[in-house]
């Protein structure tokens, strides 16, 4: 299904929300880990070497999943194998330091100050990860030089990132040790997510970005060190920084094997070797990897197979060893159970499906029209038809902020947001009354290569047209590339979360957020988002997040549909895939431990 991802990795409470990723659905979350099946002692008879093939729903589109237009789940999965940072996240959503890459320690609470020290990581071409890489990483995620006005008519955001700059946005320029291996970052205000500030998905090789920007790495570093602090009230031209930003945004976008191998560089256990457009991406062991989690396999190929039935057939035939479909139905589960020598894990994904209304479209500028359309969305029928056959106790999702498996935070948010009262049942008569004879056209963008998306669209179309709406089908297999363009009235997809942090709040719901594709803007929400992200008290923070939730329903933002069911099927010839990971990294969270038996 196409999934966009929330970015970030670390562990915080189950109620935390970090940067999301698109899935065809896209992603959000925090949730339980109800593993069902698994492979027992999967390390038995494990060997080094060999090849593993994984079925993926979406098409690979670039090696920089931090860039707005390539923030797709498959790109994030590739990054999980080719990028490392200061932390990792386990299936319980706990943060673990990755000391093979480097260490970090908080040296002061007031002001919040953190010291990061590289061990000795390097890129796959042997170039050391150094001060320039760290400075570029910080520049991207802090937005230090950004000075774009709220309406976008003046100034500039120098890097087009899918997430937000809220975690590092208040930091000063980092200070470095003489050898450039230790970076000290000081915050201007508290931030609850400081531990996940440096998301590995945004770490790109500075020497390659410099080359693409027409300068040396030393020249790039000098530009970054001398960049001016952005001020939207007094925007300034910084042309050299603009070149760096453009190179970061665009240089790593490719759909087939590029001639320039520089853009394939890796700091993780595997590196990209070959890309076949719309078909596959193959990674091989990174022989220059010097971290603490080296890969055991020689090669991993991600094969794009959009249809779950075709994925099952490929698993049955031995063409793939692992499948984790973005959408699961009863037929999928029944068919997989009939395949011999396959282990299955099932649980609640930290992901949900939703319909967003585009506040920038002429159709939905009017709140009454938005409310009318939302009243027609047959959420219970969608759930009954698509989800309950797989998960009998599934319920309609009634929060934009939390998913059902998060327990108390979800329950409290639903008590506050009036979602059930406002949109608990389809209300065609109420929609007609709001429309008052109008027959608006609603163009819906979604992934028509995903059968579940097609069924959901049809159910919405049939219901909405009863109230007088004219619904146009903008289904497109390349839906994710069009999401940021805004040429639609409503979008149907899903968000999947990394399982930690509060990045989602800024990314999706704050004015101008990197994942705020539907141009939602509410000054009260912006204020609450800033307050929540600086709040170190979890209970109080969850109350603030619930207030944001309430505003989205009052504003007729859109509607959540259901929490996604997670499902992984693995050949018993594969060792290491034996814990269900509900966040956006999915099965790839421990890829360095995979092997063939």
pLDDT in tens, 513-559: 888 999 999 999 999 999 998 898 889 999 999 999 999 999 999 99
Q: HSE on the CB side for 102, CA within 13 Å?
A: 24
pLDDT at 258 over 80: yes
Buried b (16+ CB within 10 A) or exposed e, 77-107: bbbbbbbbbbbbbbbebebeebebbbebeee
Judged by average pLDDT, the poorest of 4-18, 86-100, 241-255, 390-404 is 4-18
pTM above 0.85, yes or no: no
Percent of the chain with pLDDT over 70: 92
Rounded mean pLDDT of 560-566?
91
Q: Which of 2-16, 67-81, 316-330, 560-574 has the lowest mean pLDDT?
A: 2-16
Q: Residue length, the chain?
A: 597
pLDDT on residue 7: 37
Does position 36 have pLDDT exceeding 50, yes or no? no
Work out the average pLDDT over 565-590.
Answer: 92
Sign of the Cα torsion 514, 520, 521, 527 reads negative
Diameter over CA atoms, the chain? 71
Cα-based distances in Å from 383 to 169, 336, 411, 453, 567: 40, 22, 19, 12, 17
Peptide bond preceding 40 in cis form (omega within 30 of 0) = no
Closest C-alpha among 354, 396, 426, 367 to residue 551: 367
Q: How far apart are CA 398 and CA 94, in angstroms?
A: 26
What DSSP string runs through 408-423? HHHHHHHHHH-HHHHH
Quote the DSSP letter at residue 187.
B
- Report whether pLDDT(25) > 80: no
Which tokens hold the place of 571?
A: 């050949």
What's the Cα-to-Cα distance from 2 to each of 56, 158, 353, 413, 452, rounded to whole Å? Answer: 10, 27, 11, 27, 11
pLDDT, the chain, mean: 90
Question: What is the reported pLDDT for 243?
Answer: 98
Domains of the chain, each with CATH number or no CATH: 95-250 (3.90.76.10), 350-564 (3.10.105.10)
183 contacts 221 by C-beta, under 8 angstroms:
no
Q: Tell me the pairing of strands 322-323 and 51-56.
A: parallel
pLDDT at 390: 87
Per DSSP, 168 falls in state: T
Q: Contact, 298 vs 553, CB < 8 A?
A: no
% of the chain beyond a pLDDT of 90: 76
Which pLDDT score, from 0 to 100, does residue 23 have? Answer: 56
Query: Residue 332's pLDDT is what?
Result: 84
The backbone region for 388, taken as left when phi is positive above 0, alpha when psi lies in -120 to 50, beta otherwise, is alpha
Beta bridge partners of residue 72, listed in sequence order: 22
- Cα(59)–Cα(67) distance, integer angstroms: 16
Helix (H) or strand (E) holding 3: strand 3-6
How many helical (H) and strand (E) elements, i.e. helices and strands, does the chain have?
Answer: 17, 21
Please name which of 311, 567, 306, 327 lies closest in space to residue 455, comparing C-alpha atoms. 327
Contact indicator for 21, 71 with CB cutoff of 8 Å: yes
Q: For residue 329, what are the CA distances in angstroms to 61, 234, 254, 308, 475?
A: 27, 54, 32, 9, 21
pLDDT band at 28 (very low <50, low <70, confident <90, very high): very low
Q: For 411-481, where are the E strands, in sequence order?
A: 441-446, 470-475
SS3 36: coil
Average pLDDT over every residue of 440-453: 92
pLDDT-derived band at 504 (thresholds 50, 70, 90) equals confident
């Amino acid at each position: 299904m196409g999934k966009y991802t929330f970015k970030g990795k670390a562990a915080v409470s189950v109620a935390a929300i970090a940067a999301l990723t698109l899935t065809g659905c896209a992603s959000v979350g925090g949730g339980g880990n109800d593993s069902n099946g698994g492979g027992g002692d999967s390390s038995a008879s494990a060997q080094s070497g060999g090849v593993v093939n994984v079925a993926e729903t979406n098409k690979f589109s670039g090696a920089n999943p931090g860039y707005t237009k390539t923030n797709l789940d498959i790109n994030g999965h590739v990054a999980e194998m080719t990028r490392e940072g200061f932390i990792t996240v386990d299936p319980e959503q706990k943060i673990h330091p990755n000391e093979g890459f480097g260490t970090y320690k908080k040296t002061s609470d007031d002001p919040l100050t953190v010291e990061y020290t590289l061990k000795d990581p390097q890129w796959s071409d042997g170039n050391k990860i150094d001060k320039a890489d760290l400075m570029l990483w910080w520049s991207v995620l802090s937005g230090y030089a950004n000075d774009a006005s709220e309406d976008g008519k003046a100034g500039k955001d120098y890097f087009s990132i899918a997430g937000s700059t809220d975690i590092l946005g208040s930091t000063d320029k980092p200070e470095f040790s003489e050898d450039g291996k230790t970076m000290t970052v000081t915050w201007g205000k508290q931030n609850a997510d400081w531990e996940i500030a440096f998301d590995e998905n945004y770490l790109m090789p500075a020497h390659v970005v410099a080359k693409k920007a027409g300068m040396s790495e030393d020249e790039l570093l000098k530009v970054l060190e001398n960049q001016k602090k952005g001020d939207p009230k007094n925007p300034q031209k910084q042309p050299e920084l603009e070149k760096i930003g453009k190179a970061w945004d665009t240089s790593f976008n490719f759909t087939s094997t590029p001639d320039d191998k520089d853009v394939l560089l890796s700091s993780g256990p595997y590196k990209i070797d070959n890309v076949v457009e719309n078909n596959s991406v193959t990674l091989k062991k990174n022989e220059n990897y010097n971290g603490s989690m080296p890969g055991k396999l020689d090669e991993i190929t991600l094969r794009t197979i959009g249809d779950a039935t075709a994925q099952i057939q490929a698993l049955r035939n031995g063409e793939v060893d692992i499948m984790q479909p973005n959408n699961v139905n009863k037929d999928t589960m029944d068919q997989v159970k009939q395949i011999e020598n396959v282990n299955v894990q099932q649980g609640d994904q930290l992901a949900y499906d939703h319909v967003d209304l585009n506040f920038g479209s002429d159709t939905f500028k009017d709140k009454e029209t938005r409310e009318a359309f939302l009243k027609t969305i047959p959420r219970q029928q969608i759930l009954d038809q698509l989800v309950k056959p797989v998960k009998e106790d599934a319920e309609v999702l009634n929060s934009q902020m939390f998913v059902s498996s998060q327990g108390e935070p979800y329950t409290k948010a639903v008590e506050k947001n009036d979602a059930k009262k406002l949109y608990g049942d389809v209300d065609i008569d109420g929609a007609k009354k709001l429309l008052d004879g109008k027959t608006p056209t609603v163009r819906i963008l979604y992934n028509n290569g995903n059968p579940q998306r097609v069924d959901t669209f049809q159910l919405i179309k049939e219901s909405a047209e009863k109230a007088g709406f004219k619904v146009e089908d903008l289904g497109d297999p390349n839906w994710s590339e069009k999401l940021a363009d805004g040429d639609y009235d409503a979008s149907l997809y899903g968000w999947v979360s990394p399982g930690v942090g509060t990045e989602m709040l800024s990314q999706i719901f704050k004015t101008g957020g990197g994942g705020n594709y539907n141009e939602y803007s509410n000054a009260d929400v912006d204020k609450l988002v800033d307050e929540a992200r600086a709040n170190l008290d979890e209970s109080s923070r969850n109350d603030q997040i619930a207030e944001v939730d309430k505003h989205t329903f009052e504003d007729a933002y859109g509607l959540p549909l259901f929490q996604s069911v997670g499902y992984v099927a693995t050949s018993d010839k594969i060792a290491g895939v034996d814990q269900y990971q509900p966040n956006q990294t999915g099965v790839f969270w421990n890829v360095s431990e995979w092997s063939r038996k």
